Structure formats: C-alpha cells, structure tokens
Amino acid sequence: MIIDNDNLDRALETWQRSRSLRAANGIPGDSHLTEADLVRLARNGGLAGAAAPELRHLDECPLCFSEWSAWRRAFAISEPQSADPPEEEFATDYAYGFLEAAADTGPLLRPRVLESRCGNFRLELLPSREEEGIGMVILSCLDPQRGDEELCVRDRKGRRFLCGTPENGRLARLCRDLGELDLSIWTVIKKDS
C-alpha cells in the first residue's frame, strides 16, 4: 500500500487525537516499539511480516507511528522499489535527516549544518568561496559510542557522496558536485565491519 505524505500526515493527526482521548479517559498505553522494530517495520514489506501486537501498537500510538512514518519516508526514497537491495547493502543501523522546507533551494552558496533526526550525526556542507559546486562535506558522529564503523551517506536520489570510517568521530571529503546533491532527505547507513 502506498500513501502520500498529505494522507500520512492526516492519518497521524487522527491517531494523535485518538491517543489523547484514550489518555484522557484513563486508558493505559502499551510500551513503545524499539528503534530496531520501527526500522524493521518501515522497510519494504515490513508490515507484511509484523506481529499483530506490533500492528496494533502502531495503530494506537502516535509517537511510534510518527517515528515509523519518518523511517518509511526515508526508506521509500533510498530503497529500490522493484526489488530488495542486495544482501551486502543491508546495514545494521540507520539515521536520516531533512533539509528544512524553508531552506533556500538552488545552488549551495552558504555553509549548512544539518543534524540527523535521531541526533547522532551532524552533516556539514562547506562550499568553496572560489569555485561554485565544490566544497567540503563533513559527517560528525555525535554519539561517543560510535567508533570504527563504516558509514555511507546518501542523498535523496540514493547517490553515495560520503563513505568511509570516521577518524576521531569525523568523516570528511572534498565534493566536486556539491550543487547536484538533493539533501531534502539524507540517510546515514552503518555497514557491518
């Protein structure tokens, strides 16, 4: 089933009102789904293999549904729709971020700092003052638990523009096509070592 963002937002608002009414009437909520469960359920075909209690919880919990819908949007953009990605492409950890809707569009003319929704990563884009379209891209790991993991950062089109193992919590490279990146949504994928 495919649902557009407008319908997804309306559904989320309805569930949030429903949850508020349940709480106001003293109906207790279940414990929340873990991040790993939300990621699994958001992948292509994830709901088909979901257990009934997981589906019921997503149906009744606006917090988990909101997180699931954000992951679903990220995966819908980054995963191929015709087939599952090859096994080596599966990662054990994900993060994503958005370029704010109010941010200017067009070529990247000024530095930008974007934080992943989970707060574990910061993506810095530092365009060159001399040459348009060229700039430095830096991924900072804000979670001290992250060490020698291989990370890949992709833009909305699924293009990998930064891959490698961070040193001292940072991964950086010169990007020659900075102006072509579509960062309306970006993902960080941790691959198994």
Q: Give residue 110's region: left, alpha or beta (phi > 0; psi -120 to 50).
A: beta
Together in a domain, 40 and 119: no
Q: Please check the confidence at residue 81 and state whether its pLDDT lies above 80.
A: no
Q: Which of 127, 98, 101, 97 is nearest to 112 (CA)?
A: 127
36 vs 104, higher pLDDT: 36
Distance between CA atoms of residues 141 and 173, nearest Å: 15
| Last-in-domain residue among 87, 121, 151 | 87
Q: Which of 58, 63, 121, 62 is nearest to 94 (CA)?
A: 121
Q: Please check the confidence at residue 124 and state whether its pLDDT lies above 90.
A: yes
Distance between CA atoms of residues 145 and 98, nearest Å: 23
The reported pLDDT for the residue numbered 172 is: 93
pTM above 0.85, yes or no: no
Which residue reads 């992943």 in tokens?
Answer: 116
Together in a domain, 62 and 95: no
Together in a domain, 119 and 80: no
| Structure token pair of residue 83 | 């087939």
Together in a domain, 74 and 15: yes
Q: Give residue 52's region: left, alpha or beta (phi > 0; psi -120 to 50).
A: alpha
| Last-in-domain residue among 67, 87, 107 | 87
Which domain, by its residues, includes 10? 5-87
Burial class (CB in 10 A: 0-12, 13-18, 19+), 115: middle
Together in a domain, 17 and 44: yes
Return the SS3 of 125: strand
For the chain, what is the domain count?
2
Residues 6+ apart with CB under 8 A from 188: 94, 95, 96, 116, 120, 121, 139, 151, 152, 153
Q: What is the pLDDT of residues 13-67, one digit of tens each?
A: 776 776 665 555 444 455 788 888 888 888 877 888 888 888 888 777 878 877 8
Return the SS3 of 183: coil
User: Residue 97 in contact with residue 123, Cβ under 8 Å?
Assistant: yes
The reported pLDDT for the residue numbered 26 is: 44
| Last-in-domain residue among 24, 59, 87 | 87
Confidence class of residue 91 from pLDDT cuts 50, 70 and 90? very low
